[in-house]
Amino acid sequence: MQNSTSRFSNRVEDYVKYRPHYPAEMISFLEQQSVLQPGMLLADIGSGTGISSELFLQKGYAVLGVEPNQEMREKSEELLKGYAKFFAVDGTAEHTTLEKHCIDVIIAGQAFHWFNQVTTRAEFTRILKPEGYVILFWNERMTNSPFEKAYEQLIEKHGNQYKELNHRNIDIAVIEQFFHPAGVTLTEFANKQVFDYNGLEGRLLSSSYMPTREDARYPSMVEDLKQLFGQFQEDGHITIHYTTRMYWGRLM
């Protein structure tokens, strides 16, 4: 299996343009729960191109974006240069390089399934302040509508290691074990993306388990995707629905 720290290196542009963002309601909810408070320092572990970091930066929080992939980390610095409170850090979930007990809240968006959960939990405990929170969240693509079911079948047909890397493999038992002995709360939000054909292809290519444009399997995949788009598009657009799952709690 390709190293998780390098597998997105040739997909950065598609990742930036076409990956779903997160609902702004997440922030107001966390503030209402007093999980987030003004002046807090956050660590975004596996921050990638900064999609998850920006959500919190927009609300005035300071964020250390810990990302081992050089291409994605540099892209985050470029995209978030307008935020004075963003700092990119070359580190991993298992070895963040951050100081002991310096972080108020740890966030991890879309990256948790890459982590070694045992060593990551120990590292989170080391860098987190006492009583600090951990927030894990990701967008889970829905497979309910006829289009969504057909799109899932296309991914299964053309994807590589899709079954192994699917977020659905991270069930509540795994999450509860990570937060044990403290409890964890699941809060869900509706999310969606609306694409024309080029956007839908970019979204497909942003996933690490799909063939790249240079791959010999790419033409066959695109042929199927165009057929799928033609069958289900409405006014030249397709909608992909997600549930944003947010797990939050303390580690002790």
Please state, in angstroms and rounded to a whole number, the distance separating the CA atoms of residues 72 and 79.
10
Angstrom distance (rounded) from CA 187 to CA 30: 10
Task: Compute CA distances 182 → 1, 29, 136, 163, 249, whole Å.
Answer: 33, 20, 15, 30, 7
What 8-state DSSP symbol labels residue 98? P
Nearest residue to 42 via CA among 99, 110, 102: 102
* Among 77, 131, 80, 121, CA closest to 101: 131
Straight-line distance from the first to the last Cα atom of the chain, in angstroms, rounded to the nearest whole number = 33
Distance, C-alpha 31 to centroid of its chain: 21
pLDDT tens-digit readout, 20-67 = 999 999 999 999 999 999 999 999 999 999 999 999 999 999 999 999
CB 91 within 8 A of CB 98: yes
Cis peptide before 181 (omega within 30 of 0): yes
* Angle, CA of 153, 203 and 8, to the nearest 5°: 105
Ordered per-residue pLDDT tens for the chain, 252 residues = 344 444 555 678 888 899 999 999 999 999 999 999 999 999 999 999 999 999 999 999 999 999 999 999 999 999 999 999 999 999 999 999 999 999 999 999 888 888 999 999 999 999 999 999 999 999 999 999 999 999 999 999 999 877 555 544 578 898 999 999 999 999 999 999 999 999 999 999 998 889 999 999 999 999 999 999 999 999 999 999 999 999 999 998
Residue 107: which of 165, 164, 170, 48 has the closest Cα? 48
Q: Which long-range contacts (CB under 8 A, 24 or more apart) does 3-6 make?
A: 4/114, 5/68, 5/69, 5/92, 6/69
- What sign does the CA torsion over 237, 159, 205, 120 have? positive
**pTM over the 0.85 mark:** yes
